[in-house]
Copies of this chain bind each other. A is one copy, B any other.
Amino acid sequence: MVKKVIDNGKKGVRYNLVLNERAQLVLHSIIENYIQSAEPIGSRTLSKTIGITLSPATIRNIMSDLAELGYLIQNHTSAGRVPTDKAYRFYVNSLATPPSISEQIKEKISQVSNEQGSQVEAILAETVRMLAELTKFACVVSTPKASVSRLQRIELIKISEDRILVILVTKAGVVRDKIIFTNESHTQEFLNSVAEFLNDKFKDHSMQEIRKEIHQSMVDDRTRYHDLLAHAIRLGKKAFELNQPGEMLIDGQMNLLLDSHFHEQSSVRSLIDAFEQKSAIMKILDDSMKHKGVHIFIGIENDLKQLQDCSLITASYRNNQNVLGSIGVVGPTSMDYKRIISMVDYTAKILSKTITEQSYD
């Protein structure tokens, strides 16, 4: 039996074992080469670019072992080898997080939207566009979740006998509007009183809390005998009802089509579908909101089939109070992780800073 490049010779368990240093170096080098060239890496090429002196034959042995361990695959005999998702996972885990970033890029990122008085959505749109341009991949950002952010103000505007326009302004600086229907007609003056009441009662409360409190008020007897209160609660219930499922802005989808790593038409086709559905990507963004720092989803780790040819790098952004949403880059599994991770990380930080400044607390 051929000896393995692992420290322990036992066969049954070797897949869980750690690679020895030299094997790690080779794998690292293969990955970085492949990220650069987008072409299968052969032993001879590698022996030239790798730091230490190692003959092609030796490298071949190591590569063969790495292939057996699932880090590399060959598209056909006599072709170089290509990293697998497992290899990329190894690679990103071994990176210092977050990798460093050039001052030049930092500056470009910081430039976005330092103009005063921009709306949150505008800031997000600008940021995602900038990030797409910088990374040359597709970028996404989820808009602040209404449920976690807190009420700054509510307005009720009569627009017809049975329709009321509700405008919710959150502390995070997001303005949401929706139309609700009523059975009875109210005057604008009455709506103003209702709005004033709701503002007094619920300002600074989170949407979630508000929904809960309204629910409680509805079963409270006192409510029934107080006309304004009763109306306010009834309208408030509708107004604060699950608003918008949370949106997502996308930019730079086109970049993917021009990327050398994505030559095959088929994978692009399916990616387009993934973007159209939105929900799968949205879910990943939501997941990444739960934890701090940069998240990396590589190929097969994505639930959605259509996303299994690409990696997502995400990071959440926040204001003083809450995590609001997250921003991410979608690219080929063979993307330049160092570069992208650092950009996403830094962008999320700057975005958090900008949004915090714009928040209404």
Report A's interface with B, CB cutoff 8 A.
Answer: 116-119, 152-153, 155, 157, 159-160, 163, 165, 167, 169, 173, 175, 177-181, 253-254, 257-258, 268-269, 272, 360
Contacts and interface: CB of A to CB of B under 8 A. Distances in A.
Given A117-B180, A175-B177, A253-B253, 19 more contacts: A116-B181, A117-B178, A117-B181, A119-B177, A119-B178, A119-B179, A152-B157, A153-B157, A157-B169, A159-B173, A159-B360, A160-B360, A167-B167, A175-B175, A253-B254, A254-B257, A254-B272, A257-B268, A258-B269
Contacts of A177: 119, 175
Contact of A152 (B159, B178, B181, B269): B159
Contacts of A117: 163, 178-181
A167 to B, nearest CB: 6
A142 to B, nearest CB: 17
A69 to B, nearest CB: 38
A158 to B, nearest CB: 8
Number of copies: 2
Nearest to A358: B179
10 contacts: A117-B178, A152-B159, A155-B157, A157-B169, A159-B169, A165-B169, A175-B175, A254-B272, A257-B268, A258-B269
Contacts of A155: 155, 157, 167
A165 B157 contact: no
A119 to B, nearest CB: 7
A257 B268 CA distance: 10
Contacts of A118: 179
A326 to B, nearest CB: 22
A324 to B, nearest CB: 17
Contacts of A119: 177-179
Nearest to A133: B276
Contacts of A165: 169, 175
Contacts of A152: 157, 159
Contacts of A268: 257
